[in-house]
Every structure is written in C-alpha cells, then in structure tokens.
Amino acid sequence: MARGVLLDLSGVLYDGDTVLPGAVAAVSRLRAADLPLRFLTNTTRQSKRQLVTQLQRFGFDCAADEVFTPVAAARAWLEANGHQPHLLVHPALEEDFADGRMDGPIAVVVGDAAERFSYGRLNAAFRALMAGAPLLALARNRFFRDRDGELSLDAGPFVQALEHASGIKAKLFGKPSADFFRAAAASMSLDPADVAMIGDDAESDTAGALAAGVGTAILVRSGKYREGDENRFAPAPTETIANVTAACDFILAARGS
C-alpha cells in the first residue's frame, strides 16, 4: 500500500501546453487521501522556477519543494567536490546554476540543450573531458514527446556520444538514478518501498523506480508510451494503465480509499 506518490510531469500530467484530461482532479484526489506527493522530472529545457509556475498555471496544487529536478543534486555534487560547471544545457536552465560555484576545476554538465547541441559546443565539452573534467548528466533519456506531438531526441544520445568519444562514463543525476528516487522518498520521510511512481517512460520512470526499491511503479499509456513498452525493460511495471486518472484509482483502491 502506497504511503506517498511520485509523479512524472510531461506525458503524465500534461503534454506541451495541454493539461491531460483528469490530471488536475487526480492530483487533488491523491492529496485528499492525505498522500504526500513529489513531482519528478528529467526536463532540462526549463528552470525549476519555470516548471513550478507552469504547474500552478495549469491548476496543479504544487509547492516548489515538492518538485525534484536533477539540477539540485548536480549542484550539490559540484559544491562537495570543488568543481565549477562547464554547461552544455538549454539557455533557460542557466538560471539554476547562476548562483552556484564558479571556481575550481571544470566539470562538464549536460542537459537537453536542444539547438545548442552544435558541433562547436559538443567539441568544447569533449575537449574539457579529454583535459580531465568529469562528465555529469542531468538526464540520459533517449527521446521525449515534443510540443508538436512527435518524438524528439533528448539528452541521452548526446551524453552517450560524449562517453563514446572520451571514454568517460557519465555520472547520472536524474531518472533512472536510484539516488534520485530515494532522495524524493526521503523528502517525504518514507522508505522507497512505501512509495508509488507514476510515469510514461518504461525505462527511466518505472524500471528505474523499481530498481531503486520503489514499491509500486505504474506505467501510463500516455505521453511517450508506445505499445509494448511494458515488455521492453526490466523490471516490468507493476501495472500498465490508461492514464493518470486510472493510476490514481489503482493507488486509492489498494489503500481502500
């Protein structure tokens, strides 16, 4: 029985600028059942401030400390290890690093840089790696569902290209990093086994959550989901369900709510 819920954002609660049917009501029902919530995202084309503003504009009851992005963990690593970032990220994400460490040796930080994934910028990151910089990946998702409804390349292929060229393995800070899921559970004072994850990505969301010890992982057939995804990655999701409304029903039924 879940005592807290982790929710992916894009593809679960909204697609682009469109709130998915029933999503606001589903979040409200989970809160009414006294379930603490955390909103987990690998999205790195928006700052945390922009994400929180967007969620609130869409009608979701959401506080800033409930939103988990990979940036906070990456910044903590930079500070603890005495590095400053060499950023290969979307321009909107730069504000999340603006007041961070700006001295010490370089660490290459890669997010979804979109059009900034030019040869020149990738090569500059490669050269920093060859000079000894570590590689920090804010996410390594293969693709995402873009605003036009089609799939687009995410950060993962570019992270893998830098790994291949440099021979350096990236340190991952977003999903499916076990530390990411466990930190979100710990922020609710819960063990991962007492938490349910709802996501549209069978690799990063559900398989990643279960590998991290999360008790229940629900894959929704919205967003980036493609037929058969539930059978492509291990561990397989606990349940594969139509949408976030059905996922909410499943969680609340298990609680007897």
Do residue 65 and residue 106 come from a single domain?
no
Last residue of a domain, one of 137, 172, 207: 172
Do residue 228 and residue 184 come from a single domain?
yes
Q: What mean pLDDT is reported for the chain? A: 95
DSSP label at residue 162: H
Tens-place pLDDT, residues 79-110:
999 999 999 999 999 999 998 888 899 999 99
Chain centroid offset of residue 44 CA = 9
CATH of residue 107's domain is 3.40.50.1000
60 to 144, 156, 188, 245: CA distances (angstroms): 22, 29, 19, 14
Please state, in angstroms and rounded to a whole number, the distance separating the CA atoms of residues 23 and 35. Answer: 16
The dihedrals phi and psi of 237, each to the nearest 5 degrees, come to: -60, 150
Provide the domain limits for residue 194. 4-69+175-255
Q: How confident is the model at residue 146 (pLDDT cuts 50, 70, 90)?
A: confident
Extract the tokens encoding 216: 């229940």
Do residue 206 and residue 237 come from a single domain?
yes
Please state, in angstroms and rounded to a whole number, the distance separating the CA atoms of residues 165 and 69. Answer: 27
> Residue 237: its pLDDT value, please?
98
Q: How confident is the model at residue 165 (pLDDT cuts 50, 70, 90)?
A: very high
Number of domains in the chain: 2
Last residue of a domain, one of 172, 201, 231: 172
Do residue 190 and residue 166 come from a single domain?
no
CB–CB of 152/144 below 8 Å? yes
> pLDDT: is 159 or 256 the higher one?
159
> Residue 257: its pLDDT value, please?
61
Average pLDDT over residues 181-189: 96
Residue 8 pLDDT > 90: yes
CB–CB of 92/51 below 8 Å? no
Do residue 101 and residue 160 come from a single domain?
yes
Average pLDDT over residues 13-25: 95
Residues listed for the chain: 257
Please state, in angstroms and rounded to a whole number, the distance separating the CA atoms of residues 61 and 58. Answer: 9
> Residue 86: its pLDDT value, please?
97
> Residue 107: its pLDDT value, please?
98
Do residue 205 and residue 83 come from a single domain?
no
Last residue of a domain, one of 172, 199, 215: 172
113 to 44, 156, 191, 256: CA distances (angstroms): 8, 11, 34, 44
Do residue 190 and residue 167 come from a single domain?
no
Do residue 132 and residue 193 come from a single domain?
no
Extract the tokens encoding 200: 């549209």
Do residue 149 and residue 189 come from a single domain?
no
CB–CB of 200/189 below 8 Å? no
Average pLDDT over residues 217-246: 97
Do residue 56 and residue 120 come from a single domain?
no
**What H or E segment, with its residue span, contains residue 210?**
helix 208-211
Do residue 191 and residue 212 come from a single domain?
yes
Do residue 164 and residue 192 come from a single domain?
no
pTM, two decimal places: 0.87
> pLDDT: is 216 or 257 the higher one?
216
CA 10-11-13 angle, 5° bins: 70
